[in-house]
Structure 1
Amino acid sequence: MQNDPRSHGLWERTAPPAPATGRLDGARTADVAVVGAGFTGLSAALHLAEAGARAIVLEAAGIGFGGSGRNVGLVNAGMWVMPDDVPGTLGPVHGERLLTLLGEAPRAVFDLIDRHVIACEATRSGTLHCGVGDAGKAELAERARQWQARGADVALLGPADAAAMTGSPAYSAALLDRRAGTLQPLAYARGLARAAITAGAEIFTGSPVAAVTRAGTGWRIETPGGSVTADWIVVASNAYTTAPWPEIRQEIVHLPYFNIATRPLSSNLVRSILPERQGAWDTKEVLSSFRLDQAGRLIIGSVGALRGTGAALHRRWAMHSLKRLFPQLGDVEFEAEWYGKIGMTADSLPKFHRLGDRIVSFSGYNGRGIAPGTVFGQALAELVLGTTSEDDLPLPLTQPAPQRFRGWRERYYEVGSQIAHLSSRI
């Protein structure tokens, strides 16, 4: 995308074409202007259009350009935060409401895929959170206990079962979450866009928002090529937010994350590595993830940016890690590599903001964008349509709060990931 093979890598090469879109030209009117064509914005536009509202999506680059088109593709339930800690942070009402919504969010994603016949390599066999050492095993046991107390379909696996399901002897335990699954994220974003357009929404790409001003009781949104006058604005740009809402960017710390894909593995290797096609990640502080795509490519990812000294270093780490995790692999060749930015908030939970009269946003997915972004987009649509209220949303209304030392922390994550991978041992 944008002539950069490291922006979307394998996903750009294997996703179906995006629906035809163009740059906004001239003046238009809408009920709702949606800023950002990622999971949240596209889900909001789809649900708005299906309800009969006139929705226009303004995207600075292309459909799925941000984290939505670059991530690992795990359709997870919940957030990184332990379930019992969520009510402690958000309060019992919003906390339990959020846990319920996100526990059911993977099903909502797969239902949308079925309803709109989205070709995105959707696999519903669950995910595996893999424990490293005794500390990792204890963490997963507690996470399993907390989810099971809420009736979630999760199971704690011992080392033998973990080895059988991952194909690796490296893990002390694994948490199998049967609610979850995997997909091709850029293909999913493009499928949502196509469904939204079919329902009546308009999507304009290459149309960054330059300014927002009052226009009577509504808003006028300016882009380099034109403008949209709308009653509501839904801001859904998350970690890739720029002007005119710098407060969103200021409360988010960018965590770089990369993925590297092998060439398709032989049928024998595919049967021995993730034989049921779960996506997986581990409990290490500098975590790594791995999964297979539909063609049998093994994709490994971790914290870090593929630029400068990081490109070669992270590539060497990936090769070393695959050989240690999966001794049966032997020599492998890499076919694609890409990276992006995860938006991290101070408490590792997403945020709901009212940025002005009838300007609302969700942001800060902390690496869990697919399922939460989809259901939060629907929640924003319902808020705009008046079928729900702010008090009934899954997150409380808060004001953006800048994170201290944000720039320093972002540099630390990029350099620190290189140091960690240089000295890592699995």
Structure 2
Amino acid sequence: MSDIAQLRNDFVTLNQSIEGNPLVYLDSGATSQKPQVVINEINHFYSKNNANVHRGLHTLSERVTSQYEGVREKLAQFLGVFATELVWTSGATHSINLVASGLTNQLRYDDVILITALEHHANIVPWQQLAQRTGAKLKVIPVNDQGIICTNNVLAQIQKWQPKIFACTHASNTLGNILDVQVFIAQAKKIGATTIIDGAQAFLHLRPNLRQLDCDFYVLSAHKALGPTGLGILFGKYEQLNALPVYQTGGEMIETVTFDQTTFRQAPAKFEPGTPNISAVLGFGAAIDYLSNINFSAMHKYEQSLFKYLLEHLSAIKGVKLYGDLDNNIGTISFTFKSEHHYDLAMLLNSYGVAVRSGHHCTQPLMQALNLNGTIRVSLAFYNNHTDIDRFISALNNCIQLIEG
């Protein structure tokens, strides 16, 4: 695990001061920091290889097209799927919207779309809109007062509602809960439901094998897994993916165009109109290489040791209330302190150089279910260390002393 701790040196953004204090970055759930190799790859593209993909016979275009499609192949191997099953999008939100739009003609009046109360808005609103378009019903699996969903309850709800679509997060962005999605997917498949898993938070920490999970669709965001912003990935089993209608139209995704009609290419090309985010794809390729060279078991043990250390020290502070599944967690803790407003506490922590997120975390229905107006969220990654946690706990105690006089 000492080798994992040394990886922190690859993240130059962490080497700075905020308000005269060393930066303590505890907001990886919002976006991960980027290792220098990712930054270098983006710079190299723009300085040496800048050209469009799939459009030129000249050296630069052919070179970058090969690299660009090579990243798709690389990611496919990392996820255990085929490259033809991966679509580049602008983010996990875009990916979910693409699927929700494409399933419109597969739903009928009174069909059920089943989700959980843990979902990010991006995995709620597209299904609401789909329900409104089709007359389907949106049903929600509730959480308990700690923010936990029982696996047996999910299975019972799937059996009860017999949904046509089952969508859920792999790991909660707000609470860090890891859901037993492989079991859920198997249950949903028994009744013929289409399964969509939001893996934005899980990908970095759990490294899922999508073939083993056996879901129909899985969505990712590169920026939450060491990659650049503005890039997402939609995995879809090839038959289900190719059965979806085109979502956006334009150049490159077409086969033939006349003024009378247009025909479209097969997936994934049919979902990738226009010039893609080439630099982000290449940067994400460097991130995949970086992750591939890390021993996952050692990384996971290190992250969990940080999480347990944080949990031990945070739970010892009188007045702090923790939420979520603290036994099955990616390394994210949401908490409140007495009746103190989360915004005020986060601002005070920032004055000590501590970066956390406050608010509803794009999960307003979850906050309502927990009877909260928001929380402070601490989200860890392997580039954090025990010193980060010590500085956070010290800063939090100082903030509490200021609050309580």
Query: Comparing both structures, which one devotes a greater share of its residues to helix?
Result: 2
- Report which of the two structures shows the higher radius of gyration computed on alpha carbons: 2
TM-score of the aligned structures, taking structure 2 as reference length: 0.24
Query: Comparing both structures, which one devotes a greater share of its residues to strand?
Result: 1
TM-score of the aligned structures, taking structure 1 as reference length: 0.24
